[in-house]
């Protein structure tokens, strides 16, 4: 029996399943308005994720005010993370016995598998945010508006100390948010 071949084949199957599930999630998310739909709520429920509560939802909608379509990225992130964790957990039944059996090459393969899993959520979420973003010209108008507004509000409660790397939403200065309210990306990466 070729343990290495079995290992790579089983991990490849899991990875293909992950990509296919992520693709389905993003397709539905793109067709969903920020307020959500029964279909979107059902999809979240199917992986054990609850929709945002009222307060966090309002905060998210305020942060992403320039976005007008697509399920809330912070909810999309939770779903993608849950699916990734599910696949990662299931991969252990494949990798743990095989790892002990086949050594160096297998370990390298398993490591690269997990690296791709870790990167998947961030890269696919960034793609998603880019596809639901308003047109660039409109973005530029908002950016200019924000820049000129900032001059007046820099000292006030509406000022922003930082913007999100992923979606461009601001971090209100009067909060202690560690992650973006709109897409869940950490404001301060290590």
Site of interaction with Zn ion (CB under 5 A): 164, 166-167, 169, 180, 182-183, 185
Output the smallest distance, CB 70 to Zn ion, in A: 13
The answer for 84, left when phi > 0, alpha when psi is -120 to 50, beta otherwise, is alpha
Choice between 22 and 74, CB closer to Zn ion: 74
H-run or E-run covering 161: strand 160-163
Choice between 95 and 185, CB closer to Zn ion: 185
Choice between 87 and 167, CB closer to Zn ion: 167
Residues 6+ apart with CB under 8 A from 121: 77, 80, 81, 84
C-alpha 38 chain-centroid distance: 21
Choice between 86 and 122, CB closer to Zn ion: 122
Output the smallest distance, CB 37 to Zn ion, in A: 22
Output the smallest distance, CB 90 to Zn ion, in A: 29
For residue 156, the 8-state DSSP code is: S
Output the smallest distance, CB 136 to Zn ion, in A: 18
* 160: helix, strand or coil: strand
């Amino acid at each position: 029996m070729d343990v290495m071949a079995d290992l790579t084949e089983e991990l490849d199957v899991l990875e293909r399943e992950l990509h296919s599930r992520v693709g389905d999630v993003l397709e539905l998310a793109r067709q969903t308005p920020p307020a959500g739909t029964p279909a979107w709520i059902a999809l979240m429920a199917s992986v054990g994720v609850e929709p945002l509560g009222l307060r966090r939802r309002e905060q998210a909608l305020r942060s992403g005010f320039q976005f007008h379509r697509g399920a809330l990225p912070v909810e999309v992130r939770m779903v993608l993370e849950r699916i990734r964790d599910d696949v990662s957990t299931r991969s252990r039944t494949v990798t743990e016995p095989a790892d002990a059996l086949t050594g160096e090459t297998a370990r390298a393969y398993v490591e690269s598998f997990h690296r791709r899993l870790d990167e998947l959520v961030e890269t696919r979420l960034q793609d998603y945010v880019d596809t639901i973003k308003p047109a660039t010209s409109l973005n530029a108008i908002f950016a200019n508006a924000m820049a000129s507004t900032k001059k007046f509000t820099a000292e006030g409660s509406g000022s922003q100390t930082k913007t999100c790397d992923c979606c461009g939403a601001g971090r209100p200065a009067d909060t202690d948010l560690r992650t973006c309210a709109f897409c869940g990306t950490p404001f301060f990466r290590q």
